[in-house]
Structure 1
Amino acid sequence: MTNQNALFPEFEDDQTASEPIRVPTPPAAAKRAKAAKAAETVGLVPPDDATLALSEALPRRLRLGTSSWTYPGWAGLVWDGDHAQTALSRHGLAAYGRHPLLRTVSLDRNFYRALTAAQYARYAGQVPDGFRFVVKAPSLVTDALVRAEDGRGMQANPAFLDPELAVQEFALPALEGLGAKIGALVFQLSPLPPVLLGRMPEVLARLARMLAALPALKSVASDAVVAVEVRDPAFVTIHAAGFAAVLREAGATYCLGLHPKLPPIAEQLPMLRALWPGPLVCRWNLNRIHGPYGYEEAEKRYEPFGQVLDPDPETRAALARVVAGTVGRGQNAFVTISNHAEGSAPLTLRAFAQDVADLLDPYEAAGPG
């Protein structure tokens, strides 16, 4: 999996210990630098009337978005032309945040390296007031294993579900930097090693301690919710009751994860019903046709992510029913979609938004499912 932190070199200076020595820039060089910066400016494709009408048809409590925004292949779909990935990492979010259908985004890069409050604040300053971020917790806290570059587990992670690290390295910087623009703080638990799968009550107890240590969010971010996403089916099958009890006690919710490692939506709905009423957080990560270890295969097939190559209308329809049932009863919903869902996140999101809009008018919502 691509380490998204490498795409954002402009933030590295936030983590240096001291200010660098600054050399005065000659006037000619300053002009060239200004011209280069202007050339990097990223614009938004003007939304057409149909897109604007669709946006107006969706309730404000529904926020749809993608996983990151640094894809040159979105030219003509989101961007107003061809832009390098580095330019998009610096300037793309401001354009993205003006799109009428894109009202959230998943900050996945935080999974690889914890962001600082200053970095979060830079992101918050680029988007409008109604925008909300879905932020993945660092793997330092959410992965039971310390992994090699290729993803292989090397040894047990002593910081797994550590309450102090979860607060200091994730929750507090996000609160300080994003403030009211927090939508969901997502703890995505990586696949557990067999030894921990055999000791699930212990894992759930550790999860409960970590969630209990998190600071209250609502006083700063009224829409904010803590959500837990998993990669092991045991959380929503054998141990569903205990998992739901932990989430309920902490005031957290379950992140509906659409990934081949998990059962389809219908088999995850009991978890949502056990926590109802409450907000919905969903991350559509990977098309099921690629199997549980098919991320790299999907990456190769779909890049540069400008076309839908493997449409999945069944999943879109099932998720649309859940979303309509949630927002139809006045609850917030945060849904982010990856390029690996069907091939192009903006195109999938556009079709999904229409699916939801088609359900909302006649829909007599009764909650999830």
Structure 2
Amino acid sequence: MQDSLFGDDLPLPATPRPAPAGAEPSAAPPEADDAAPTRRRAKASMPKVEAAAVDDGLRDKAARLPSLLRLGSSSWHFPGWAGLVWNGDYEGSVLSRHGLAAYAQHPLLRTVSLDRNFYRALTASQFAAYAAQVPEDFRFVIKAPSTVADALVRAEDGRGQRPNPAFLNPQLAVQDFVEPALQGLGTKLGALVFQLSPLPGTMLAHMPEVLARLDAMLAALPPLRPTAPDAVVAVEVRNPEFLTPEFARVLKAHGATYCLGLHPKLPTIEDQLPLLRALWPGPLVCRWNLNRLHGAYGYEEAKGLYEPFNRLVDPDPHSRGLLARVIAGTTGGGHAAYVTINNKAEGSAPLSVQALVDAVLCETA
């Protein structure tokens, strides 16, 4: 299966092209509150977000998918998903706080990426509040805080100002990310993703030192499976210089995996597959972030073209087909697959999920 999935004729690129990254905030969590009367008042006034009706055809497809596959989006606060995920029109602020439970009722949406943790680390109680809103079989994908995952301290506009002394700091990674996620989500933790923002040129010129830091951080992480049996650590990058055998060896030494990143700052899926092959056998973590049509800095352009995110504007059947093949190979080998899709990938994350489901079912038929 390894050969048919990844192919022996795809060597790891020796000197890949450099490129730079971006991300978008996810939905805000409900505020933690230790006062029981306040919680009761808040619950009484909480708006009810109703889930959209789902036809029997979608439920049948969901039942035929590999049980180890979990698909979802990078957030859930989009009013344009009315009729797809929501039954009715809701403000984004209402969906941000109260839409997760309705999102999790959709039979194809069994995970979501909490990207907002990158911008401000969530507490164990905030994670627990999320976990309480979803069924037992739901799993969360979480991005590591920028305090650990970004090599630079950035200004408000995102421009790097100076080196981040806490980059890949083992103690902070455990204290501010892994432990709160484990405590708050428990068995509903799926993937912990260290998405490493673009490295400055000075660090790219010293990749062995960067990999040594990554190696030390991964070695310090506590075991996940006693608390979260389905959990996996994944590392996502924005510099092609990482896609080397040395990087694969660091990940494999600590039972971590590579997060397949579908983003214009990285090579195509075909050129990333050799890294997955080097890590086989193991789970798949994939984040389909941005359509390659918009270039490395195209989030705002894609947003302007795709809002309100209720239709597929730029379908990418080639990437979808390759991803379906990797999913089928991974789950067929008995390993979990976590795949989250951004609205900026094709125009509408829920519709991209539906199209990917069709492709997966073709591969697994």
Residue of structure 2 equivalent to 1:112: 119
Q: Is 1:302 aligned with 2:306?
A: yes
The answer to whether the 8 Å contact 1:67/1:106 transfers is yes
2:364 paired residue among 341, 356, 360:
360
1:122-133 mapped onto 2 (5 Å cutoff): 122-133=129-140
2:347 paired residue among 322, 331, 343:
343
Q: Distance in 2 between matches of 1:211 and 1:45?
A: 41
Which secondary structure does the structure 1 equivalent of 2:71 belong to?
strand
Q: Distance in 2 between matches of 1:301 and 1:111?
A: 25
Residue of structure 2 equivalent to 1:89: 96
CA shift in 2, pair 1:168/1:203, >3 Å? same
Which secondary structure does the structure 2 equivalent of 1:341 belong to?
helix
Amino acid at match of 1:81: G
Q: Is 1:56 aligned with 2:76?
A: no
Q: Distance in 1 between matches of 2:331 and 2:44?
A: 46
Which secondary structure does the structure 2 equivalent of 1:95 belong to?
helix
Which secondary structure does the structure 1 equivalent of 2:191 belong to?
strand
2:335 paired residue among 327, 331, 337:
331
CA shift in 2, pair 1:117/1:321, >3 Å? same
Q: Is 1:177 aligned with 2:198?
A: no
Q: Is 1:8 aligned with 2:33?
A: no
Deviations 1:311-330 (A, max 9, x none): 11111111111111111111
- Percent sequence identity over matched residues? 63
Q: Is 1:280 aligned with 2:280?
A: no
Residue of structure 1 equivalent to 2:216: 209
Instruction: Report the alpha carbon displacement of residue 116 of structure 1 after superposing the two structures with TM.
Output: 0.1
Structure 1 residues without counterparts, runs of 5 or longer: 362-369
Which has more radius of gyration? 1
Deviations 1:154-175 (A, max 9, x none): 1110110000000000000000
The answer to whether the 8 Å contact 2:79/2:308 transfers is yes
Structure 2 residues without counterparts, runs of 5 or longer: 1-21
CA shift in 2, pair 1:192/1:321, >3 Å? same
Which secondary structure does the structure 1 equivalent of 2:346 belong to?
coil
Q: How many residues align?
A: 343
TM-score where L is the length of structure 1: 0.89
Q: Distance in 2 between matches of 1:262 and 1:246?
A: 20
Q: Distance in 2 between matches of 1:255 and 1:221?
A: 19
Instruction: Report the alpha carbon displacement of residue 34 of structure 1 after superposing the two structures with TM.
Output: 7.9
Deviations 1:42-70 (A, max 9, x none): 11112101101100110110000000111
Q: Distance in 1 between matches of 2:23 and 2:237?
A: 20
Residue of structure 1 equivalent to 2:150: 143
1:60-79 mapped onto 2 (5 Å cutoff): 60-79=67-86
The answer to whether the 8 Å contact 1:41/1:87 transfers is no
Residue of structure 1 equivalent to 2:242: 235
Residue of structure 1 equivalent to 2:315: 311
Deviations 1:108-158 (A, max 9, x none): 000000000000000001001111000000011000001112111011101
Instruction: Report the alpha carbon displacement of residue 10 of structure 1 after superposing the two structures with TM.
Output: 4.0
Q: Distance in 1 between matches of 2:236 and 2:43?
A: 43
TM-score where L is the length of structure 2: 0.90
The answer to whether the 8 Å contact 2:24/2:115 transfers is no
Residue of structure 1 equivalent to 2:229: 222
Which secondary structure does the structure 2 equivalent of 1:336 belong to?
strand
Q: Distance in 2 between matches of 1:35 and 1:174?
A: 28
Deviations 1:254-294 (A, max 9, x none): 00000000000010011000000000000000000000111
Residue of structure 1 equivalent to 2:197: 190
Q: Distance in 2 between matches of 1:3 and 1:323?
A: 25
Instruction: Report the alpha carbon displacement of residue 35 of structure 1 after superposing the two structures with TM.
Output: 7.8
Amino acid at match of 2:216: R
Q: Distance in 2 between matches of 1:309 and 1:226?
A: 33
